Chain A
Amino acid sequence: MAQADISIKPTELQGGHGHPDKWKWYDYFTFNVDHKVIGIQYLVTSFLFYLVGGFMAVLMRTELATPNSDFLSPELYNAFLTNHGTIMIFLWIVPAAIGGFGNFLIPLMIGARDMAFPKLNAIAFWLNPPAGAVLAASFFLGGGAQSGWTSYPPLSEITANLPQTLWCVALIMVGTSSILGSVNFLVTIWKMRVPSMAWDQMPLFCWAMVATSVLALFATPVLAAAMVLLLFDINFGTSFFKPDAGGNVVVYQHLFWFYSHPAVYLMILPIFGIMSEVIPVHARKPIFGYKAIAYSSLTICLVGLFVWVHHMFTSGTAPWMRIFFTISTLIVAVPTGIKIFSWVATLWGGKIRYTTAMLFAVGLLSMFVFGGLSGVTLGAAPFDIHVHDTYYVVGHFHYVLYGGSVFGIYSGIYHWFPKITGRMLNEPLGKVHFVLTFIGTILTFTPMHNLGMQGMPRRVAMYDPQFAHLNQLVTVGAYILAVSVIPFYFNVIWSWMKGKEAGPNPWNAMTMEWTTDSPPIIENWEVLPVLTHGPYAYGMERSDEVGPAGEPLPASRS
């Protein structure tokens, strides 16, 4: 049956015979248009930026170990604060989760040979290193941007103008990159699935990327607009946001959060996608509630566009807005809850393998329950007014970003590393990494909630001495987190060179990326695969299936 399928067209490899079917190391430093190369480029650069952002976090926490600003000057603290937030979001999570995993996996998961617009894809990636360079320059020219990753005017207009300008430019560049990437993902998923794959047979990661891309397309231009207006205010004498010249400071906040609230879903939706791939494989069960998970991504995308004002409850917000946005914010908890329950139900009755990928996935689940619940409390305007702009918020969003996005990226790396590199990561080292990360995350970010409720505002280099003890605890946690990355980076570098050979499908997974070599050959498959079973057919009878080259897939084991 498979043989007759129209999707089988034994295309010649791009290079023809005699050419290498693997890339060489120096290909990764070029304007390469292969989606796998671009995916790896994104991943590697973002992991480098992760170290930079993490280094800044450790310096900040060292400062905060004591109430006085005795380690960093307050200006330097604010510069680290601003760049830590900016790097972690725009140069770590977004490029790793969307650019890295998205580019590497999407064509492989839908049976395509590349993205729809390979050159555009390369351009999107190559906007990132210069953006990073501009941001770095902003740090060394004039002391760094000082006004936080939100850069509210008028503060951003009166502090350190040159670095603030560069900061805006860097953001416009990564924003452009993200728009180009999104168009590419949408067209690729829409047009390039193997003919045998219907929408509802797509892996859930693809659904997540659809939702992510739609969101990025709606929201990112607004960020770019805010940045351009801010740039003009700073450099060309306009007064969009200058109160003493007729401007309005709150308008900026609306523009900024119209992008930046959805941006948190941009960061988490691909991670949700990763979760939906990792958990079924290692629990050996079909994902529970495929449709519910797919549609809840779209719901989050839609509702996520109407909640931004919950960042502005204490700002210039009319009463009706506080009410409307309280309700819409709380509603986001419903689709998120659906996902969490579905993953737990996927575990239920499974045969769970304790791989590191699975540990991080389950760790994420557990973190997300906490971060999600504290998020609900923040949605309720009367309580948010008390804790807004305090460490409660810092604790909450790190639970979601560290316990959520970072755990998800780790989980994805442990899961797909064999596919990406052809080699396995070392599992015992991975477990050390997991334990340190798990403990470190809880220790670092839980006490922050207490601090905030008790009265410690955020973004401070110095604080009331009554908060010293809890802050020391947090700082110890941060050091544990800093140590936790050592086994990981070591593991990745060492295993990439010397790790155990993985073979095409070490986890016995069922999505399409596992039907080709590890690492995949240059055009992904010699003969495009044919879909004979859904992406999560664990435990089901699959006698008729045929692999890429006509061999049967590993027998179903039920």
Chain B
Amino acid sequence: MKQIPAPFWTLVLGIVVTLVSLWVGQNHNLLPEQASEQAPLVDDLFNVMMTIGTALFIVVQGAIVYSLIRFRQPKGDETDGLPIEGNLPLEAFWTAIPAVIVVGLGLYSVVVFQEMGGFSPGGHHGHGAMVAMAPQQSVIDIAPLVAQAAAADEDIFSKTQVYGFGASPLVQMNQPDVTVNVTGMQFAWIFRYPDTGITDGELHIPVGKDVQLKIEAQDVIHSFWVPQFRLKQDALPGEPGELRFVATREGTYPVVCAELCGSYHGAMRTQVIVHSPKDYADWVASRVAEATPTTTVAQPAETATDAEYLAGIAPDLAKSPVQIAQMTSMSH
């Protein structure tokens, strides 16, 4: 051992740590499947951070454990250690390295953010006439409310700053293929399709299409999150939000409310169903065919994930949409 010079060991250790970190960065399996165009961008950023983090973790923990073993007080030795108070080159080195790393990560984050469309929410994409069926105060006289809601949407989205993710730079100029108005309320999500008048408690979208969600809250703050899309945007009362994305994989994924919104916040779950284009067309057609004000009103409780399970633990939730609307209007 003694004959082998220290730089050699440093080199070997460096290579091993690098390889281990690279491997961990690619194989940690910590994130759920990727189902949107944004997901791989976010995951690549995370993997890079995971790689750097693993390396730093091993090196620093290694130094700690090594010191603890190597520099423990020898039995009966009551003297002090060597009085080393500092070492300027070393300190400059370990200030510079993290500084370079974080600036690098910062720039990388900006690039990812840009590619995700973070710089362009709230562009003035015009959209078709809106005939949404809003599950507002009552289902009896819905027409004026629908008009009101549509006008309000138009208004708020064209005048105010919109938060969230807009079109990625590639599709900046294009109209979205599907626009859905998302409303969070205690404790359900309502999805309205202005182009077709469909209202639903689950989000249905076609795969591979440019989808725009316009997100708002009716009562308190909620937060729209689909883990598999890696996208989240708070639904703020009075402040519009937007998420624009392309779903890349058919399937059913959870829609989670991530902002504490009251007692049943944990039960405010539904799902997003990513259809093949044909299935999506069929779904739209069937919903439009059966569309009458009373049946198009959302049934959030019935359609929620694990409906029975929810009904069991939160009987309050298994109410008709009318009651939900009344409940929320009462809470104001």
Contacts and interface: CB of A to CB of B under 8 A. Distances in A.
Interface of A: 67-70, 73-75, 78, 146-148, 152, 154-155, 158-159, 243-244, 248-250, 283-292, 314-319, 322-323, 326-327, 330-331, 333-334, 337-338, 340-342, 344-345, 347-354, 362, 365-366, 369-370, 373-374, 376-377, 380-383, 385-386, 388-390, 449-450, 453-455, 457-465, 536-540, 556-558
B236 A250 contact: yes
B86 A459 contact: no
A316 B98 contact: no
A385 B258 CA distance: 11
Contacts of A334: 95, 98-99, 102
Contact of B262 (A146, A315, A366): A146
A456 to B, nearest CB: 8
Interface in B1-48: 30-32, 41-42, 45-46
B141 interface: no
Given A248-B238, A464-B306, A333 B98 contact: yes
A348 B99 CA distance: 23
Contact of A377 (B49, B84, B263): B49
Interface in B42-75: 42, 45-46, 49-50, 53, 56-57, 60-61, 63-64, 67-68, 71-74
A284 B64 contact: no
A234 to B, nearest CB: 14
B262 A159 contact: yes
B209 interface: no
Given A283-B71, A330-B105, A382-B41, A377 B46 contact: yes
B127 to A, nearest CB: 22
A464 B50 CA distance: 27
18 contacts: A73-B263, A74-B265, A74-B266, A154-B221, A158-B220, A248-B238, A314-B234, A316-B234, A341-B91, A352-B72, A381-B109, A382-B45, A385-B232, A389-B232, A454-B227, A457-B257, A539-B83, A558-B79
Interface residues of B, number: 92
B116 interface: yes
B313 interface: yes
A382 to B, nearest CB: 4
A60 to B, nearest CB: 12
Contact of B84 (A286, A292, A318): A286
Interface in B296-332: 305-306, 309, 312-314, 331-332
B262 A386 contact: no
A354 B161 CA distance: 58
B142 interface: no
Nearest to A369: B60
B212 interface: no
Nearest to B50: A377
In the A-B complex, the 4 residue pairs with the closest CB atoms: A460-B266, A243-B238, A539-B80, A455-B227
A461 B85 contact: no
Contact of A316 (B60, B236, B256, B313): B236
B163 interface: yes
B109 A350 contact: no
A350 B220 contact: no
Contacts of B312: 68
Nearest to B56: A373
B236 A382 contact: no
A462 B109 CA distance: 33
Given A337-B98, A365-B64, A380-B105, A349 B82 contact: yes
A538 B80 contact: yes
A556 B90 CA distance: 28
A289 B266 CA distance: 48
Given A152-B221, A317-B163, A334-B98, A249 B49 contact: no
Given A285-B82, A322-B118, A376 B32 contact: no
Contact of B254 (A155, A390, A455, A540): A455
Given A288-B84, A370-B57, A318 B161 contact: yes
Given A154-B219, A454-B32, A461-B266, A382 B116 contact: yes
Interface string B83-114: 11111001100110011001101101110110
Contacts of B110: 323, 326
